Every structure is written in C-alpha cells, then in structure tokens.
Amino acid sequence: MNATSNGSVPPVEECEAQASRILESQPLRGAESLRSLLAFLVRWSLDHPGSPPKEYVIATQVLGRGAGFDPQTDPTVRVQIGRLRSKLAEYYMAQGAEDPLLLEIPKGRHEVTFSYRTNGDRPRTEPDPGRPARRRNLLRTILALAVTAAGSAGITWWLTRPAPVARALVELWSPFFQSPEPPLAIFSNAEFVGSPRDGLRYFRRGQDDPESMLDTYTGVGEVMAVRELVQMFSGLRRPLRVKRGRLLTWDEDKNANLIFIGSPAENAELRVLAGSLEFQLKSRDLEPEVGRPGFWNRKPREGEPSLYLVAQGRPIVEDYALVALLPGVQPGKWALILAGCTTFGTGAAAEFVSHPVLAEELLARLARVTGSRQVRPFEALLHVRVEKGAPTQIQVVTLHQR
C-alpha cells in the first residue's frame, strides 16, 4: 500500500469499505466492465502493494481479451482505465464529496492508491504482522455483503476470479459451436454518396445516380463490434468468418450460423429475419416524435411501454440496442442480431455478448425468466449510456423469451 502525502497509511478495512461504497455508487451502476476493472485493481493493489499488474494481465483476466493480446497495438486497457478515472472523479464530485478517504488511479499507472484528504484526518497506523491474513478475510466479508446488496455481476467476478467467467461465454455461444461450419459475422454497410473529403450522406433511391453510390463504409460501432467478436472467438479458440452485408448471399451462406451486426435498415438480408422480432427499430423519420429513433415493443409484457425512444440532441448521450437470438435460415441453424438505434448501440450490443462478466449477467437474466440457463431464442433490449462517443454503461431493460 502506498503511503499518503501526510505520512499515514489508511487501514486496509477502511480501503475495502471505501472501494465497496464506490462499486455500489450511481456513477458505476450498470457499468459492469468498469466495476470489474475497479474490483480487480483494488484487490491486486491490496495484495501486491507497489507491484501494479501488467496490461496483459488486466486485458486477459478482466477485459476478456485473448492470449494474443498486444498492449503495443491494442489500447483497450488504457482506454478502460481512463474511463474508470472519469467515473471516480464523478463519484468524488457528488456522492463521495464528503468522503475522507480518496481512491485514485494515478496517471500512467495501473494500480489503486488510497489517501486521506487532509493531514490529521486519521492517525498513523503501525505495521501489523497479522495484516495479510485479516486483509483476505475482511475482503471476502465485504465483497460478500456487496454481492448481496448489489447483485453485481462485476463483483461476482471479483469473488470467483477469472477462470470460471470465460465459461459464461462458452455457455452463451454454445448454439454457435455445435456446427462444423464457422459462424459468419455480417456487418452493415450503408449506401452513401459523396466523399470523405467533401462529406457523405445517405443514398436516396430514385433521386441519386446509382453509379455514384458508395457501399464500402460502415459505422465505428460496427467496426468495434467486429473487433470484439474476433477477439472473443480467438480467445475461445474458435474460428469466425467476417463479411460485409452487401456481399452476403443466402445460397452460399445459408448453412452457417449467422451474426448480424447493425441495423436492418442498412442490411437488406437481415430484414428477412427482422420482420419476426418483437422489438422493431423505429426510424427517426417516423411518427411519433419525428427525430427520435427507438424501438417498438410489439408484444409488451405487463408494465412495459410500447415504445422506447432515444433522447434527442447532440452529442449522443444514450442509445437503445437489441440482442436477439433467433432460429436461422436453415433448420438447426441460429442467427444472432446485434443492432442499435445508432452505431454506438450496435457496438455496445456486441460488447455485451463478448465480455465474460456481461455474458454471465445475460445468462442469469435468462435463468430468472425461464428457470434454466439453457440458451433458447430470446430478445434482450439494452439501454446504453454514451460519453464522448463511446458506450460507458449497458443495462438490460427487458428480456423476452421467444
């Protein structure tokens, strides 16, 4: 444990209690990947004072990256720690404004430090030879209480350690692993006219020259979704094929399990399956409330609204996204749809099914609805918080068993 600026070292039990308060706080509510990251860093920093974990350890043990993770080319760890610092700052500006103990992640480091706000707030504590054993026991007790209070998949990860959580990905994706043919991920690529230099806009059928149409672009969320899926399949030692939507041919690909990435509005082949969905995308150009995209709930359960709308305005601060598992084109085959109202929602949907902690959360939600963890057709509607162009919180709004 690093000494504080006033020379006193906070007792371990105070550090653990402060971490528990932050993990249950509003800024981190729903941000399961960030909660898992904070839980890991706290545990590591208390158990290995002065020896921060390597980026590779964080990436493979917490963030679900495969054994081939390279921190030189993949900034995932640095990005997630940057987001976590923002959440900690948000906590201490509001809910934790009066907390005497500061939990911080110093810039350029991958460890947690604890310090008192001012000199004299707490007495100096002397080294205690029994401290390591009590630390482990207290940590288990506090975390058990936190799990009971918050029901957090992220904190559950802290208790169970990395090894079991990858099992959630195998469970969730088991329908796609039963075929000898590698699954095929199809990402949307909308039709545009113009150029990146002068500006792009959507192609208007009947108005624009078909020869001027560009169909090789996709959204940043779709790109990140492909990246998440490729890394996840690589980590599970499973093959995955990737193809853009306009190159999909049913004759060639009907025998594969399919993963559709992006809106049906930008993927004509997806519309064949999307028509049966209970959650249908609502265009921003249609009533009610023109200008606001969302999802129609065609078969509302008790207490559910018939329409989920995204807030208007720029920058985009929220989105809705759909994760839907359906029977595929051929008997015995499957199709998974990952689609947001915007590209940010699409990326968040892919993260939700690619991260072991979030996959465990989805399986637990399915088990509550069906009484079994067996994966069957379902539709899960997600609410996504967006900050600075990146999803930061993903929550299941409702889940329909098909």
Residues 183 and 285 in one domain: yes
Q: How does strand 307-309 pair with strand 318-327?
A: unpaired
361's tokens = 């959360």
Which of 77, 41, 35, 84 lies closest to 59, judged by CA?
77
Residues 255 and 354 in one domain: yes
Can you point out the beta strands (E) in 246-389?
A: 258-261, 279-282, 294-297, 307-309, 318-327, 334-340, 378-387
Confidence of residue 84 (pLDDT cuts 50, 70, 90): very high
Helix (H) or strand (E) holding 115: strand 113-116
Strand partners, 339: 322
Residues 220 and 360 in one domain: yes
Taking the CB of residue 252, how many other CB atoms lie within 10 A of it?
11
Residues 88 and 113 in one domain: yes
227's tokens = 């990246």
Residues 174 and 221 in one domain: yes
Q: How many domains would you assign to the chain? A: 2
Residue 149 maps to a domain = yes
Residues 331 and 257 in one domain: yes
Residues 274 and 345 in one domain: yes
Residue 196: predicted pLDDT? 64
Cα distance between residue 300 and residue 306, in whole Å = 6
Residue 287: predicted pLDDT? 67
- 362: three-class secondary structure by DSSP: helix
Residue 269: predicted pLDDT? 66
At CA 309, angle to CA 308 and CA 315, rounded to 5?
140
The alpha carbon of 253 is separated from its chain's Cα centroid by a whole number of angstroms, namely: 29
Name the domain boundary from 160, 191, 211.
Answer: 160
Are the C-beta atoms of 171 and 363 separated by less than 8 Å?
A: yes
Residue 1 maps to a domain = no
For 261-295, what is each residue's pLDDT tens digit? 988 766 666 777 778 889 988 876 666 777 788 89
For 10-55, what is each residue's pLDDT tens digit? 888 889 889 989 998 888 877 788 888 999 999 888 888 888 898 9
Residues 59 and 190 in one domain: no
Residues 147 and 200 in one domain: no
Residues 256 and 311 in one domain: yes
Residue 2 maps to a domain = no
Buried b or exposed e, range 186-209, using 16+ CB within 10 angstroms? bbbbbbbbeeeeeeeeebeeeebe
Name the domain boundary from 99, 130, 160.
Answer: 160
Q: How does strand 307-309 pair with strand 294-297?
A: antiparallel
Sign of torsion over alpha carbons 190, 192, 195, 199? negative
Of 165 and 159, more confident: 165
Average pLDDT over residues 249-256: 70
Residue 165 maps to a domain = no
Name the domain boundary from 117, 134, 160.
Answer: 160
Residue 353 maps to a domain = yes
Average pLDDT in the chain = 79
Query: Domain residues for 18?
Result: 12-160
